[in-house]
Amino acid sequence: MDTTPKHGKIAFITTPDFRKNRPIVAEAFVYRHMYSLCQFFTVVTTGRTHDEFLCKILNRPLSKTKKPFRKMIEDDMRFKLQNQSDLVKWRDTIKSGLEPTKPSYPGMIHIAYELVEGRLDAVIHLTDWMDKSAKPDSAVLSREANVHNVPAATDVDTATAFIESWHAKIARSSKKTGLFREREENKNPPLRNIEKNDKVIALVAHDNMKLDMCCFAVEHAAHIFSRYDYILSTGTTGGWLKRFMEAAGRGRDEIKRIRCCNSGPLGGDLQIAYAVVEELCHEIIFLQDPSVSHAHDSDIRLFEQAVLHKDVNVKLATNLASARLLIGV
């Protein structure tokens, strides 16, 4: 078991189109870099990248590993492969450093959530050129990395440059600190202490719909607070809800049950999407303003895909008439 101290947590993802269209490049990246990545970092990866790509490579015997790939392994490990046991060391180091998540959109939402919460130091997300427009999850991860100033590489050359820079910094210092920009974890995460058996509703409203949402919530406040243990909301809407409820004379303990996530542009929709795929929230009222475009439109699209995912059971209302039926008033 490798006991090298970890210097941080990074994400490694390959999109289906990247694996399909550039299979040799994808495999070569693993052979050239994955051992040292998993030696020095915790590497979180989506379920399909782990199960359908990495595990197939890791379980390949030495005799079936092509000579150029063997040379890449030797360069990364810094010693010559003599037999199958050497390959086992390579494989076991990688496996022990990997932290697989769920497949597809839920896995990407998990990784993006870790980034927003300050627990992810860098992203290697190898993508095909069509992925940015065709896959909301790819666009979201890139956008959130830029919003939160987290290093993100979407191509092999950039990822290789990152890795070489990290290795050089590690070689110059024996300390685990200083490799990445210091980021503070959220000291009061909105999902703290929420359990799967709690009754949770999310109230999300964009732009000109915020007032409608607040009026609706105040009108039905007694019913909402008696029916739900927690109310999740994006940052600005949640702040409005608290002020409206206070003005309406609701109690302090009730108002504390309104949990404010980040604002939408800073990842609030994503935090609620995470609550949905983790089965912490089963009902959503999501009032979008169709007259206004949003810089975080990809987050909204990913949120909608999370709600519609085959493994997710959630009730969604997108207007006030539907909302009344959803909460039973």
Each residue of 182-196: pLDDT tens digit? 877 777 889 999 999
Q: How far apart are the first and last CA of the chain?
A: 58
Please report, for the chain, the start and end positions of each structural domain, with discontinuous segments joined by +.
9-172, 200-327
Equal CATH topology for 9-172 and 200-327: yes
Quick: pLDDT tens for 42-54.
999 999 999 999 9
Distant-in-sequence, close-in-space partners of 213: CB < 8 Å, separation ≥ 6:
203, 205, 237, 240, 241, 285, 287
Known catalytic residue: 269? Answer: yes
- pLDDT of the residue at 265: 84
pLDDT tens across 231-286, in order?
999 999 999 999 999 999 999 999 999 999 998 888 898 999 999 999 999 999 99
In this prediction, residue 137 carries a pLDDT of 82
Residues 13 and 46: beta-carbon distance below 8 Å: yes
Topology of the domain comprising 9-172 = Rossmann fold (3.40.50)
Report field, pTM of the whole predicted structure over 0.75: yes
The contacts of residue 97 (CB under 8 Å, 6+ apart) are 2, 37, 38, 39, 41, 42, 43
Q: If pLDDT is split at 50, 70 and 90, which confidence band does 180 have?
A: confident
Write out pLDDT tens, residues 196-228.
999 999 999 988 899 999 999 999 999 999 999
Superfamily of domain 200-327: Methylglyoxal synthase-like domain (3.40.50.1380)
Interval 65-83 mean pLDDT = 88
For the segment 303-322, what is each residue's pLDDT rounded down to a tens digit? 777 777 667 789 999 999 99
Burial class (CB in 10 A: 0-12, 13-18, 19+), 108: buried
**Structure-model confidence comparison of residues 204 and 82, the more confident one:** 204
Residue 108: enclosing H or E segment and its boundaries? Answer: helix 104-116
Average model confidence (pLDDT) across the chain: 89
Structural contact between residues 294 and 269, judged by C-beta atoms closer than 8 angstroms: no
Please determine, for residue 302, whether its predicted confidence score (pLDDT) is greater than 90: no
251-266 pLDDT per residue, tens: 999 999 999 999 888 8
Amino acid 80: pLDDT: 85
- Measure the CA–CA gap between 325 and 177, rounded to whole angstroms: 53
Catalytic residue among 121, 128, 269, 299: 269
What token pair was written down for 70? 């063997």
Residues 6+ apart with CB under 8 A from 85: none
Is residue 5's pLDDT more than 80?
no
